Amino acid sequence: MTPEQPPHTLILGMMRLHEDPELQAPERLADWIEARLDQGLDWFDHADIYGGNGHNEHLFGEALRRRPGLAARVKVVTKAGILMAPGDTKHYDSSPVWLAGAIDRALARLGVERLDLFLIHRPDPLMEAEATARVLDDAVRAGKVGALGVSNFLPEQWRRLKAALSHPLTHHQLQLSLTHSAPLLNGHFDALRRDGLSPMAWSPLDGGALFEGVAGQALNRLAVHHGVSPAGLALAWLRCLPGSPVPVIGTLNPARIMTLQDEARLSLPRQDWYALLETARGHEVA
C-alpha cells in the first residue's frame, strides 16, 4: 500500500467483527473474507483494541488459518498505541518496547507474514519521536511491516515523526465525513496532501448521524436524483476530494458492501458537492 498504488474504493473495517454472530465461526468468516476478495476488496482495517485485547485480529487470523492460501491474498492494516485494560487508566503508548511487541502480537494473531500497513493509532504527547522512529524503521527492515502511517495526528505531530524516520510515512487515517468536514477547511487535509500522506477516512458515515436532520434530507434528495443510496452518495462525496480518500466502512453485510462499492464511484458535479457541504454545515461558503 503506497501512495502510487492506493487501495480500491473501500477498506473493510473490522472494528465490529466480534458483534456479528454469523461470523464467529472460522469457516464462516473465511467464506466471508473470500467473497470480499472475489469482489475486488482486499484491504481489511484492524486495531489491537478492536474487540478487546486483540480479539478481532485473532478471529480474523483463525479464519485465515482454516483456509490455506487466503492469507496471501489479503492486505492488512492494523493500528496500535491505545491501552484500555480494565481497571487501568486509558492511555497511549508509543514507546519502542510497546510498539515492537504490538507488531509481533498482531502478526501472531493475524497469522500473516507482514502487516501491509501499520499505523500509530493516536498521537502520544510522551512520544520520543527518534526512539519511536527507530522501532518502526526496524520493523520495516525486518519485513514485518510494509508501510507506515498514523491515525488522528495533527500536522506537526506527524511531521515530527516523519522527520525522524528513515522510511516514508505514507498514510493518515483521520475522521472525515460530510458532517465532520473541519479537516477540509482548517488546513489539516491540505497539510497531509502537501506532505504526501494518502488519506483514509474513518467513520465516513459519521455513525449514521449524517442521515438525520437537514443533512439527511439533502442526501436523500440528491441520492434519488443520482440513482444511488444516501450512504453511497456520502462516500462518493468523500471520494471526490483530491487524493480520493478511501473510506473505512464498518458494515459487514455483503449486499450493503457491494452496493457501497459500486455507488462510491459516482462522480458528483461540483455544485452538488457544495450543496451537500452547505447543508451539512448549516451555511454557505463565504
- pLDDT in the model for residue 2: 42
Check pLDDT > 80 for residue 139.
yes
Q: How many CB atoms lie within 10 A of CB 209?
A: 15
Mean pLDDT for 168-193 is: 97
Indicate whether 186 pLDDT > 90.
yes
What does the alpha-carbon distance between residue 15 and residue 251 come to, in Å, rounded to a whole number? 10
Kindly report which listed range (59-73, 83-97, 163-177) carries the lowest average pLDDT score. Answer: 83-97
Strands 82-83 and 91-92: antiparallel
pLDDT reading at 240 higher than 50 = yes
Rounded Cα distance between 206 and 276, Å, is 15
pLDDT, position 23: 98
Element containing residue 246 per DSSP (H, E): strand 246-249
Give the pLDDT band (50/70/90) at residue 85: confident
Per-residue model confidence (pLDDT) at position 3: 37
In whole angstroms, what is the distance from residue 160 CA to residue 188 CA? 15
The string of DSSP codes covering 66-88 is: HSTTSTTT-EEEEEE-EE--TTS
Query: Which are the catalytic amino acids?
Result: 50
Q: What is the pLDDT averaged over residues 167-196? A: 97
* pLDDT at res. 5: 45
- Is CATH 3.90.650.10 what the domain over 11-175 is classified as, yes or no? no
The position carrying cell 467483527 is: 17
Q: Which residues contact 281 (CB under 8 A, 6 or more apart)?
A: 181
The residues that bridge with 82 in the sheet, in sequence order, are 92
Mean pLDDT, range 110-132, rounded to an integer:
98
pLDDT for the residue 283: 83
Question: Which grid coordinates belong to 212?
Answer: 438525520
Average pLDDT over residues 93-97: 98
Average pLDDT of span 84-91 = 88
Average pLDDT, whole number, for the chain?
95
Q: What's this model's pTM, rounded to 2 decimal places?
A: 0.95
Average pLDDT over every residue of 36-55: 97
What are the residue boundaries of the structural domains of the chain, listed by start?
Answer: 11-175
